[in-house]
């Protein structure tokens, strides 16, 4: 690892202006670094099958179908295959999940939660259909979950977590309604969750975890507040997540998991320290987690595949600039062309 790098992190100062990450230090990674290639067509087929109502995966995921739809549809878009899904059917189902409060549920007839509300907004963004939303209603639901100390609850039951801070900020930024919350207090709460190791936890004093770090760094990036991050200290903690096989874990002494290719890598990119890990070894780890016969990606080699790991594997390869995969935005977790379309148009 080199600590001689100059400070070249994201330079956004205005929360309403588009992100400006410096990718200049990212080298092109060719697929020849692994014994296998990305079997994109098989992953597309796997996702389209997993969505079918009668599949086991669809039954198991019934209560969080909105998240599953976001993972699957974003993967299809990254592989340039969003056009293969029946858009009208998807959009009308998404809208059946909206509650009168303005929030979205994980499926029709379920209770609303901020987790599913972001996924619903992201799905509409993928299809360039934010316009079918009552933006005032959705943004009021999200803004109404902010607490006096700046934190966010997930729903009316009040659980507090920095995941919900990220979701609120990401969602309101996409809807161009960040002015509906107290951004200063939201940022102060996130900063209060920063630990001595440079990482962030789910609440003040909670252990640093790569998933929470993504949420906190992402929220700080979107609000132009990355100066609160000690980039060298956090970059060191994050690059220490890479284990011998090339995979990344979420905290010390834990097993590697493909999903951390997203949580860790996106954070490293946002703080401009992605060149501190071995990218070729990580590409190989992700490719080794593919089901080469039936498509889909698992947490670790030879485990069963699922839609969550398929998304985070492909999203990780996108961050690694793998050929044939569209570029994803590390803060918004949507393809860059989608984010540009939203942030550059009124």
Q: Provide the binding-site residues for ligand GRG, judged by CB under 6 A.
A: 115, 163, 166-167, 211-212, 214-215, 250-251, 254, 257, 259, 263, 333
Least distance CB 203 / ligand GRG (angstroms): 12
CB-based closest residue to ligand GRG: 211
Least distance CB 257 / ligand GRG (angstroms): 5
Least distance CB 118 / ligand GRG (angstroms): 6
Nearer to ligand GRG, 46 or 262 (CB): 262
Nearer to ligand GRG, 104 or 214 (CB): 214
CA distance 299 to 261: 10
Least distance CB 54 / ligand GRG (angstroms): 27
Rg value, the chain, Cα: 19
CA distance 21 to 179: 23
CA distance 77 to 127: 10
Nearer to ligand GRG, 39 or 113 (CB): 113
Least distance CB 256 / ligand GRG (angstroms): 9
CA distance 85 to 172: 27
Structural contact between residues 189 and 182, judged by C-beta atoms closer than 8 angstroms: no
CA distance 89 to 159: 33
Nearer to ligand GRG, 211 or 295 (CB): 211
Nearer to ligand GRG, 170 or 283 (CB): 170
CA distance 251 to 267: 14
CA distance 210 to 195: 13
């Amino acid at each position: 690892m080199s600590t001689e790098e100059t400070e070249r992190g994201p330079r956004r100062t205005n929360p309403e202006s588009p992100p400006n990450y410096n990718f200049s230090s990212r080298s092109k990674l060719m697929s020849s670094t692994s014994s296998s290639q990305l079997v994109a067509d098989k992953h597309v087929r796997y996702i389209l099958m997993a969505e079918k109502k009668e599949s086991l995966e669809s039954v198991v995921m019934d209560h969080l179908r909105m998240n599953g739809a976001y993972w699957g549809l974003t993967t299809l878009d990254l592989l340039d295959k969003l056009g293969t899904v029946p858009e009208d059917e998807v959009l009308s189902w998404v809208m059946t999940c909206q509650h009168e409060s303005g929030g979205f549920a994980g499926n029709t007839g379920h209770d609303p939660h901020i987790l599913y509300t972001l996924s619903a907004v992201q799905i509409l963004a993928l299809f360039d259909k934010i316009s079918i939303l009552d933006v005032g209603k959705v943004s009021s639901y999200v803004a109404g979950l902010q607490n006096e100390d700046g934190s966010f609850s997930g729903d009316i039951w009040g659980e507090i977590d920095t995941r919900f801070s990220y979701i609120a900020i990401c969602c309101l930024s996409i809807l161009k309604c960040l002015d509906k919350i107290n951004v200063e207090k939201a940022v102060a709460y996130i900063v209060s969750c920063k630990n001595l190791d440079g990482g962030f936890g789910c609440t003040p004093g909670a252990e640093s975890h790569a998933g929470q770090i993504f949420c906190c760094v992402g929220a700080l990036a979107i609000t132009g507040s990355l100066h609160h991050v000690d980039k060298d200290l956090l970059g060191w903690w994050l690059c220490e997540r890479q284990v011998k096989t090339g995979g990344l874990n979420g905290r010390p002494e834990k097993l590697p998991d493909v999903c951390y290719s997203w949580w860790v890598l996106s954070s490293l990119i946002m703080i401009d320290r992605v060149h501190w890990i071995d990218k070729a070894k990580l590409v190989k780890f992700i490719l080794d987690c593919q089901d080469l016969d039936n498509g889909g990606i698992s947490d670790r080699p030879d485990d069963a595949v699922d839609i969550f790991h398929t998304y985070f594997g492909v999203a990780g390869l996108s961050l690694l600039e793998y050929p044939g995969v569209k570029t994803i935005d590390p803060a918004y977790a949507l393809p860059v062309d989608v984010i540009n379309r939203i942030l550059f148009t009124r």
